[in-house]
Each structure stands twice: as C-alpha cells, then as structure tokens.
Chain A
Amino acid sequence: MTARLISLLGTACALVLCASTPSPVPAAQLNITANECQPFFEPPENFGRSEKGIFTQPGVVNGEVVCSVPRIPDGGGANFYIDGDNFVAGAYIDCVLISWGENLHTLAQLSIHSTDPHYDVFVSLAPAQVDSRGFITLNCLLPNYQQGILRGITTLPQPPVLL
C-alpha cells in the first residue's frame, strides 16, 4: 500500500515536471519613458521633452500626444501603470488607453483622469479586451502651460497562473 502511494507520488511529480517544462516563458515587464510620445495632429513645437518625460510648452492649452505602449502578449489581459506629475493646483491630465485589434477595430477604451500632484494610475484590460496580434496606444491631453509632465508607462506581465 505504501509502495503504491510512493509510486503514485513519484509519477505525479514526474508528470507535473514534464508538463511544466514546455510552458511558455512569462511575459516581461516593460518600463518606457514618455518622451517617446508624439504630437497628436499638433505642431511639434507645442511640446517639450526632457529626460523625465513630455510636457506642453508655455502658452499651449489642450496639447495632445499619442504614445505607443509596447507589450509582450502572453495570452491574457494586460495591466499598466501611467505615471506623471501635475505641478500646480488645478492642473490635470486626461488620457485614454486604447486596445486595438489586428484589423484596427477598437477592443477597449479606458479613460484616466488625475489631478494628483504625483499620479501613478493603474489600469487593466481583461483578456477579451486584448488581441495578441493587436497593439495598445495611449492618448493624453497634457496639463496646459507646462504645468505638468507625463513621465512614463509601465506594462505589467500577467500574474503567473498556478497549476
């Protein structure tokens, strides 16, 4: 009886080991500074960049940028942190994170609004809202008059699935 139990345990371990070996490598986290963002149908002179990110120039209101949000698809959803600063009271940032399908159809749109001096906004897309052959973009209306900065976007891997 004991021998059978031990044998069963050994077989189970071997099977799990075999099953775990070919499992895909977990997707990686990607941190990217927002100075890669581009003017969205606006003159490039409206925006300034630094090693910290992107901002509007003095005198510019409703300056909008579009940012590529790179990710490594892992078959699940997708999670993101969007970081930046509002330097003065009343300054704010409005963003929309868009998940695009392979054929340029919109799978999801998530809105983000923050008036916090230092924001670190978490947004999440369900698996059905992400196409493994699609892509993600982030459009942001930056704070007016150089009153804030969009610092960066971090794409998080899916939490590991425990067997």
Chain B
Amino acid sequence: MQIRHIRLWALIGALALSASFVAPAQADSINAAATECQPLSVPQHNVVHSWVGTGTDVNAPASVISCAVPRSPLSGAPGQGTFEVSAWIVTAGASISCTLYSYDYTGLFLGSVSFTLATATPTTQTPTMVSQQVSLPVTQLGYWAYTSMSCIVPANDSAFVTYVVSTL
C-alpha cells in the first residue's frame, strides 16, 4: 500500500513537471507612445510631437507620418496579432486614416490593414480619445517580421496619433 502511494506521488510529480515545461508562454503587449512617429515625405516643421502624441502643427496641412510598431512575437504556434491604435481628436469631425504594414525581415511584403480613427459622430464632444483595434492573421505576421504604421494626420493641429499597443 505504501509503495503504491509513493508510486502515485512520483507519477504526479513527473506529470506536473512535464506539464510545467510545455506550458505556453504568455503573449507580451508592447505599449509604444506615438511620439516616436516621424514625418513621411513632408517637411519636418509640419509635424509636431506633444504629450498626446504626433500630429500637425497649427496652420500646417494634412501630413503623412510613419511609426515603428514594436512587436514581441511568441515562439511556437503564434496566433493572429492584435494591435490597438489610439488617437486624440481635438476638433469635432477630424479623423486619422492609418495603414498598418507587415514586412518580413527580407523586405517581403506580408500584409496590411487599413482603418480610420474618428469619433462616433462628427458632433461628439471634443477633445476626446478614440481607439481602434485591428488584427493581422498569422499568415501575414512572420516570426521575424517588422510592423510599421503610416497615418494621415489632419491639418491644423486637429488630431494626434497617441499610442500603439501590439499583442502577439
């Protein structure tokens, strides 16, 4: 009886040990402020960085900015990647159009997703924070891929890209 008890204990120990080694890793979220976004083919002075993120200067035209989107891929069997992008809408009716890209480390285009950051209605009280969640399927997110985002920020200081959270 005692031997059986000991055997059972050994078996439980071994099983638990095995289970601990195959437990899946937790996905990491990377939260990046959009203050690192940069002008894309527009004069540097058109784009400003503030505590709420990156947008256009007062009296500057709508401009395209480019942002690095850091990611921390899981090894093993990754699922789709989820990204949450937020914006600070200063002027009622203003919106930001963005495209999130995925390129393999070789430079091969893997995929993209486009979306718009705007208030629910043009009459929503501003300034206000809005966010949009988008995803890319695993087939468009290689383990070694780099992700980035280009956004058209509206003229005249009317909306800012605030931050990006990537979860893979």
Hey, which bits of chain A sit against chain B, CB under 8 A? 2-3, 6-7, 9-10, 12-14, 16-17, 20-21, 25-26, 28-36, 44-45, 48-53, 70, 81, 83, 85, 118, 120, 149, 151-152, 154
Contact = CB atoms under 8 A, between A and B. Distances in A.
A interface majority secondary structure: mixed
A17 to B, nearest CB: 5
A17 B16 contact: yes
Best-buried of B13, B67, B144, B145 by chain A (most CB within 10 Å): B13
Contact of B13 (A14, A36, A50, A154): A14
7 contacts: A14-B9, A17-B16, A32-B70, A45-B43, A83-B107, A85-B107, A152-B105
B25 to A, nearest CB: 7
B13 A13 contact: yes
A30 B72 contact: yes
A21 B9 CA distance: 18
B6 A3 contact: yes
B30 interface: yes
Contacts of B73: 29, 31
B2 to A, nearest CB: 7
Given A13-B16, A20-B17, A32-B68, 20 more contacts: A3-B3, A13-B14, A14-B9, A17-B13, A32-B70, A32-B71, A33-B69, A33-B148, A35-B68, A36-B36, A36-B38, A49-B39, A49-B40, A51-B99, A51-B101, A83-B146, A118-B107, A151-B103, A151-B107, A152-B105
